Chains A and B, each alone.
Chain A
Amino acid sequence: MIEIKDLQKHFGDNHVLRGITTTISEGEVVAVIGPSGGGKSTFLRCLNCLEDPDGGSILFQGEDLADMKVDINHHRENIGMVFQQFNLFAHKNVLKNITMAPLYHGKKKLKKAVFSAIINNICALFSSKKEKTPVPSYRKEMKALKEEIKQRGLDLLQKVGLSDKADAYPSTLSGGQKQRIAIARALAMQPKIMLFDEPTSALDPELVGEVLDVIKSLAQSGMTMVIVTHEMGFAREVASRVLFIADGIITEEGTPEELFGNPKHPRTKQFLKAVL
């Protein structure tokens, strides 16, 4: 689904990613672990170009995202992202947080469809070859779209167990609730792949469980996911593959059993000894 080849990233003189190559297949749950400052988060943020890669390629849907000419917004619609700091829109209530982006994209597509139908009909007036196409009623379609997206939002809220919070503002929620809403917001775009950037690192210990449960059930539903995490137990449980990134390269990778049970690289051993 995503093919990453020789990914490079510099922050000034700091060479953060030194050539990362890996392929993420459909349905795979990839956990990324490693020491702080090793490039885990940067790697993840490069996948949807929140950080622009300096070199290498990221093949997604047949296009190279590392190429600056690619319409990145189009691809981001299919890449959901969940942040460490939740980043819920503070001025919108929970339901609007979830429905804002789908509404925006739906509206844009609808406008485009109406516009191209009108243009087509104008062309048809002058040429006998072209058939007239019916112009969709903007108002009617928009109403249906709004209804559909709202329903999708409510369903997602139910899925993350927060149906009663639809009208609440983010400032009134706990960290765990915020992160579950953030997951619902990303899912509302119906992405093909989900990226999690340390989704539980900013949470109180007692709130970590509820967020991990949501991610777990998402993994079971077959969603392709890349999760940067410090929760080793969680990585071991849900991941189908674990990447150990240190000093800007994938030092070691394998199934959780291999990597946690029998690490080969000394750097991995040292890290796991310190955190387990």
Chain B
Amino acid sequence: MSKKWSKFLDAFIDHKMYEVVLEGLRNTIVIAVAGLLIGILVGTIIASIRIMPKYKKSAKILDKIAYAYVSFFRGTPIVVQLLLGYYVLFPLMGIHLSPLVTCILIFGLNSSAYTSEIMRAGMDSVDKGQLEAARALGMGYWPSMLRVVIPQAIKNILPTLGNEFISLIKETSVVSFVTAMDIYTAFQKIGGQNYEYIIPYLVMAAIYIILVLGIGALIKLMERSLKKSDRN
């Protein structure tokens, strides 16, 4: 075992593989965080469209589009979406994006489909009277949603959003399909140095666990500070 350790350390330190790991770690976090932010933004818009009162024809059409969008991103695996984006869609549109940017975009859009459903549940959990009160004060639908409903909805769904973030972190391990560098690719490389995979993969698992536990703690902190208005 100690021999395996020394092989790992040899590759990790002497062959400067820690730089690769750091780059992978950075990319994993960047993809997950940026993906989540895009997801929340787009997801909130989609959720607002879906619970909008359907008087107007435009609202009905928007709702159909939103439904199709959510169905597509929930109905296909993330790997398929990555491959479609990187090798089919973006090249066809004549856009050249780096693997990292492609991953951020695709993960953002994918996450927005899930976030929109989470957000919709969150908005439903906010009392209908809150929106009515804001509307009765002469504020339009979107300003009312933004200032009154969405802040309360986010508070209600924070634990679920945390889960979404955690699953995003873990899902990023497939970005090697489009040649992006992440934690998995980094440790794959370390193992490939001397065909010794046991230790690198164990360390990789440990890093994922530490990341996820850290996020969990962070969410707890945020929840506590947002509960300010509930305190008696």
Contact = CB atoms under 8 A, between A and B. Distances in A.
Contacts of B151: 91
Interface bracket on B:
20 to 34
B228 A169 contact: yes
B55 A68 contact: yes
Contact of B140 (A50, A73, A87, A100): A73
B229 interface: yes
A178 B138 CA distance: 21
A93 B132 CA distance: 18
Contact of A172 (B136, B137, B148, B232): B232
Interface in B124-144: 127, 129-130, 132-140, 143
A60 to B, nearest CB: 13
Contact of A90 (B130, B136, B137, B147): B130
Nearest to B128: A87
Contacts of B130: 87, 89-90
B137 A76 contact: yes
B229 A90 contact: yes
A11 interface: no
Contacts of A189: 137-138
Contacts, number: 78
A81 B147 contact: no
Interface string A132-145: 00000000000000
A103 to B, nearest CB: 10
B152 interface: yes
A171 B138 contact: no
A101 B55 contact: no
B135 A76 contact: yes
A27 B116 CA distance: 47
Interface string B95-135: 00000000000000000000000000000000101101111
Contacts of A74: 138
Nearest to A83: B129
A87 B232 contact: no
A169 B138 contact: no
Contacts of A92: 229
A96 B156 CA distance: 21
Interface in A72-104: 73-77, 79-81, 83, 85-93, 100-101, 104
Contacts of A50: 132, 135-136
Given A73-B139, A76-B136, A104-B139, 5 more contacts: A48-B136, A50-B135, A87-B132, A92-B229, A185-B133
Interface of A: 48, 50, 52, 68, 73-77, 79-81, 83, 85-93, 100-101, 104-105, 169-172, 182, 185-186, 189
9 contacts: A76-B135, A83-B133, A89-B133, A89-B148, A90-B152, A91-B148, A91-B155, A91-B229, A100-B147
- Top 6 closest pairs, chain A to chain B, by CB: A101-B137, A87-B129, A77-B138, A87-B133, A76-B138, A81-B136
Interface of B: 55, 127, 129-130, 132-140, 143, 147-148, 151-152, 155, 228-232
